[in-house]
């Protein structure tokens, strides 16, 4: 979650003073409010960005027309995010998004005044806006309205981050956290407080209660998955893998991205155990020859570079071991031995953005290939433990081959 402090003031010096305190309290984003921009112009945006270069600066322009022009103006003065009104013409919004992309900044669309907020939110998502704001204005608040009902509906309807604003305070923020808001915008509760820094800290503390739940849940769910992988490992697959390593002349390891990092960690441990091992892609990697072994790591089993390497290894008369979640993938079908390491299947991927990002509602709480990569890392550490026992190697023995030039 992100705390955005709305500086809806008319004096830039006062705004800077409150922003200073809010920043010390932990505010993530600072909003140059509409009244401040009307009073001081883009100068206010520039001053805040210059002073708070380590914070995102939001220019709350509430643009209704000439989206390209106004976004460019804000970007040139240092804004990181610019607000556009959801009731604006579609062209205005698309132009704003195009210019924002050019300058590397973001567009937040404010649904204030929009009748069917869910319908409009879906339209805005298709236009490529970065954030959607569910906003109950001051005049609406005076009539007893709040953003909670609309927030819940919009969060469920779109996959982009949803912001919320409208009279939020320490009492109401826990509810908007529960409903799935990504960006929580607080104005008067901080700016009108006698202790802006203290109130900001208290709000951030509310966030951290949820943050720690997220971290603990992620760690527990990942651990449970790895334990399940350990229970369902197939003896014949693991035996084939280990036997292939022991019999190989040279061992080559190849993985892409995070899988590649897992492979490098495994290669280092094999080197400590005196195996003749290389990582594909390194400048000192020799030619692959008959009698050599390629250990190919790919969760999907479809990574083109990994599949191509397996084809070459087979052509050169070597063996291929595939570590993958999909034995029937192109890599799995090429391999002499496949070790199946289950990851997150497509059916386990939540479609709701907040559920994916806040990680509190679904069993699979790790992004993309994380479960496969973490499980593979722990599995390969288990293999190292087996090889240590097999060759009667101690940690002291392995340390003799540990890098000294680092």
373 is catalytic: yes
Is 224 within 8 Å of 216 (Cβ atoms)?
no
Is 238 within 8 Å of 337 (Cβ atoms)?
no
Active-site residue, from 197, 373, 395, 406: 373
What's the CA gap between 249 and 293, in Å, rounded?
7
What's the CA gap between 15 and 11, in Å, rounded?
6
Q: What is the DSSP track for 312-354?
A: HHHHTT-EEEEEES-TTSHHHHH-SEEEE-----GGG--S-HH
Which of 357, 299, 353 has the alpha carbon at shortest distance from 324? Answer: 299
Phi-psi domain of 113 (left: phi exceeds 0; alpha: psi -120 through 50; beta: other): left
43 by Cβ neighbours in 10 Å (0-12 / 13-18 / 19+) ranks as: middle
Is 108 within 8 Å of 129 (Cβ atoms)?
yes
Q: What are phi and psi of 358, to 5 degrees?
A: -85, -15
What's the CA gap between 9 and 102, in Å, rounded?
30
Q: Which active-site residues does the annotation give? A: 373
């Amino acid at each position: 979650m992100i705390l955005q402090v709305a500086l809806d003031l008319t004096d830039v010096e006062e705004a800077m003073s409150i922003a200073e305190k809010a920043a010390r309290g932990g505010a993530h984003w600072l909003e140059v409010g509409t009244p401040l921009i009307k009073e001081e112009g883009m100068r206010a945006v520039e001053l805040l960005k210059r002073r708070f270069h380590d914070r995102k600066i939001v220019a709350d322009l509430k643009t209704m027309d000439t989206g390209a022009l106004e976004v460019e103006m804000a970007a040139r003065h240092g804004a990181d995010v610019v607000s556009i009104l959801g009731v604006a013409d579609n062209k205005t919004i698309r132009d704003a998004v195009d210019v924002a992309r050019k300058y590397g900044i973001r567009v937040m669309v404010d649904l204030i005044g929009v009748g069917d907020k869910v319908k409009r939110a879906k339209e805005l998502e298709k236009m490529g806006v970065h954030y959607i704001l569910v906003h109950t204005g001051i005049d609406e608040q005076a009539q007893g309205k709040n953003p909670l009902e609309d927030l819940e509906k919009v969060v469920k309807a779109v996959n982009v981050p949803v912001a919320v604003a409208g009279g939020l305070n320490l009492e109401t923020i826990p509810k908007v956290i529960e409903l799935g808001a990504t960006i929580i915008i607080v104005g008067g509760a901080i700016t009108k407080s006698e202790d802006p820094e203290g109130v900001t800290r208290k709000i951030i503390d509310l966030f951290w209660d949820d943050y720690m739940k997220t971290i603990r849940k992620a760690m527990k769910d990942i651990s449970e998955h790895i334990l399940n992988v350990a229970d369902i490992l197939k003896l014949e697959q693991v035996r084939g893998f280990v036997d292939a390593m022991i019999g190989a002349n040279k061992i080559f390891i190849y993985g892409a991205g995070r899988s590649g990092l897992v492979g490098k960690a495994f290669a280092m441990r094999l080197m400590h155990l005196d195996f003749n091992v290389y990582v594909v892609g390194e400048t000192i990697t020799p030619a692959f020859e008959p009698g050599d072994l390629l250990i190919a790591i790919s969760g999907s089993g479809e990574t083109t570079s990994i599949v191509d390497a397996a084809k070459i290894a087979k052509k050169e008369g070597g063996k291929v071991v595939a570590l993958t979640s999909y034995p029937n993938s192109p890599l799995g079908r090429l391999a002499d031995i496949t070790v199946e390491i289950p990851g997150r299947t497509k059916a386990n991927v939540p479609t709701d953005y907040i559920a994916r990002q806040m990680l509190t509602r679904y069993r699979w709480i790790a992004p993309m290939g994380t479960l496969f990569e973490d499980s593979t890392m722990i599995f390969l550490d288990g293999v190292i433990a087996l090889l240590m026992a097999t060759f009667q190697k101690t940690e002291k023995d392995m340390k003799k081959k540990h890098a000294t030039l680092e």
